[in-house]
A and B are shown apart, each in its own frame.
Chain A
Amino acid sequence: MSALLKLTGVETYIGRYHILQGVDFEVPEGRTTMLLGRNGAGKTTTLRTIMGLWQPKNGSITLAGEPIEKLATPDIAQRGVGYVPESMAVFSDLTVKENLVLAARNGPLDDAQLAWIFGFFPALKKFWLSRAGSLSGGQKQMLSIARAIVEPRKLLLIDEPTKGLAPAIVMSLIECLKEIKRRGATILLVEQNFHAARELGDHVLVMDNGTIVHRGEMAALAADVPLQERLLGLSLEAHQ
């Protein structure tokens, strides 16, 4: 299985702060790779650096073999990278429809794709012409994800989609992401919810202090309680 995304020695500074201190990893095509770690380990910065929202000072990032670390954000997006930021960043002044129209950059909305999205997120159909700002937190998250998958993308970068959502909504979100996965998407997913991580992840990366401190199979990490405690300071089981 080939690597769709490859980071080598990526270092990112924010102001004077050295946040990413040499990040190396690969995201294999067609699989879901989890990025775990404490708060402040550099997970969000990693996603933002891939997306071009921060410029890495050193190192290389390749997407399907092409170096992208020097490209501007729109160029990276145009190469097929979908991004769901931590803050969701829906355009609250625009309607649900307008949000998706913008996200479908290459043309009119595709009915089949929309029908599929509505299958998971009926709320989006229900409130199609309402302002996105008036949606609930969970609905905004759904819209944010819908925006990333409204067109086929090579790679999805998703930052803590379950954060702050009610458990029932988390469950349906996990189902939706599983379905996206079944359709062959390549996903790099930052997640703090270990249940979600175990359900979704094929591979796992653990970050600490701006570097990758563990890489392996999600199943192996899920089964190895001492390793979890060593890497994450707590066990997955305790968080069921």
Chain B
Amino acid sequence: MSEIAATDALPKPKRDIAPLLLPVVLAIVMIPLVGSASSWVTLTVASLAMGMMIFIMASGLTLVFGLMDVLNFGHGAFIAVGAYVATLVLLPLASWAQADSLLANLAVLVPAALLSMGVTGALGLVVERVLVLPVYGQHLKQILMTTGGLIVAEQTLYALFGPQIIPMPLPTALRGSFILGDIVISKYRLLAMLLGFAIFVAIELVLNRTKIGLLIRAGVENREMVEALGYRIRRLFLGVFMTGSALAGLGGVMWGLYREQVHASIGDELTVLVFIVVIIGGLGSITGCFIGAILVAMVANYGGFLVPKLALVSNILLMVAVLMWRPRGLYAVTSR
């Protein structure tokens, strides 16, 4: 690629950092309210861990909407399928998972996660071809079709795995906590945080540094022109849909391990949370989705600690507040 010295630059549009500061400010404001430093650290770490898991699940949904204007109400199904598929590996190999060896733990955890992502990715392929492709551009039918898909997926899970709750214990190496003075940080939360952040950075890098990313960003803005430049956007979209589904599957595995159990209703439960996150973030925006996920998790954790009763409706209040401030979400994607 040729390097050209830009002799001049237009005044850059001011970077919109207010939403980025929001979680930071919220965390700082909470210090005096929570009172004890150790509780604050625990709550903040819990928020970040939960936020990162939700981000992983929500990122695909927001990209699919941004790129193709498709509303997928069945996104939660991928989360549930992901969690269930992981049990197929984790339960038969429970002895490895419970062995006191990091290597043995990883030898079962990594294949489980990869298998989940593979299955949900493949399922994404089927869903895109069968349920989404016939109803492009028709929001009403998209909602109906994907809701139907959610019902079928959930019922199939019940049929295959039964209605009972399946335990999903954490591997030994991930149990327990790091203790620094009177601050306790659970190992699994730390892992979730790191993994989620790594995925966020990876998505940002792909979007900003690769040609595929250029195409996605261009496609979010103007699908037709991308096609007129000779790119098959449908194929690109299928790729994004499958990646998003696989990420939802990974998120499902992580959530299952976090709760140490799986149930088919996990999809319903998280769908609502994921929707709130993508609405808050602005449909189509990855950065917004990232901030939104952290905010939702913070409100749930701090709120649950300070005013337990409020936790029931805190997400709705957060959504209302954000939308009153910015009706299209924190970062509205341009030109739609």
Contacts and interface: CB of A to CB of B under 8 A. Distances in A.
A and B touch in the complex (CB under 8 A): yes
A94 B225 CA distance: 13
Contact of A102 (B4, B13, B229): B229
Contact of A93 (B5, B6, B217, B233): B217
Given A53-B228, A130-B12, A147-B229, 17 more contacts: A73-B227, A77-B227, A77-B229, A78-B230, A89-B228, A91-B217, A94-B218, A102-B211, A105-B231, A109-B1, A109-B2, A110-B2, A111-B2, A125-B6, A127-B8, A130-B9, A134-B12
A91 B221 CA distance: 7
Nearest to B228: A83
Nearest to B208: A98
Interface of A: 51, 53, 72-74, 77-78, 83, 85, 89, 91-94, 97-98, 101-103, 105, 108-111, 114, 125-131, 133-135, 147
A101 B211 contact: yes
Which 4 pairs between the two chains have the least Cβ-Cβ distance? A77-B230, A128-B6, A73-B227, A89-B225
B225 A91 contact: yes
A93 B2 CA distance: 21
Contacts of B224: 53, 73, 85, 89
Which of B7, B211, B225: most chain A CB closer than 10 A? Answer: B225
Contacts of A73: 224, 227-228
Contacts of A97: 4
B278 to A, nearest CB: 19
Nearest to A99: B218
A108 B2 CA distance: 7
Q: Label chain B's interface by main secondary structure.
A: loop
B205 to A, nearest CB: 15
A77 B229 CA distance: 6
Interface string B202-242: 00000000010011011011101111111111000000000
Contact of A127 (B5, B6, B215): B6
A191 B228 CA distance: 20
Contacts of B222: 89, 91
Contacts of B214: 94, 98, 101-102
Contacts of A74: 227, 230-233
B6 A126 contact: yes
Given A89-B224, A101-B214, A114-B2, A126 B230 contact: no
A42 to B, nearest CB: 19
B334 interface: yes
A130 B265 CA distance: 47
A21 B215 CA distance: 36
A228 B4 CA distance: 47
Which of B6, B12, B226, B334: most chain A CB closer than 10 A? Answer: B6
27 contacts: A51-B228, A53-B224, A53-B228, A72-B232, A74-B233, A77-B228, A77-B229, A83-B228, A85-B224, A91-B222, A93-B217, A93-B218, A93-B221, A94-B217, A97-B4, A101-B211, A102-B211, A108-B2, A125-B6, A127-B6, A127-B10, A128-B5, A128-B6, A129-B6, A131-B13, A133-B13, A147-B229
A94 B96 CA distance: 49
A178 to B, nearest CB: 24
Contacts of B230: 74, 77-78, 105
B218 A129 contact: no
Nearest to A79: B230
Contact of B10 (A78, A110, A134): A134
Contacts of B233: 74
A160 B11 CA distance: 29
Contacts of A102: 211, 214-215, 218, 226, 229, 231
Nearest to A126: B8
Contacts of A93: 217-218, 220-221, 334
Nearest to A109: B2
Contact of B1 (A85, A108, A125): A108
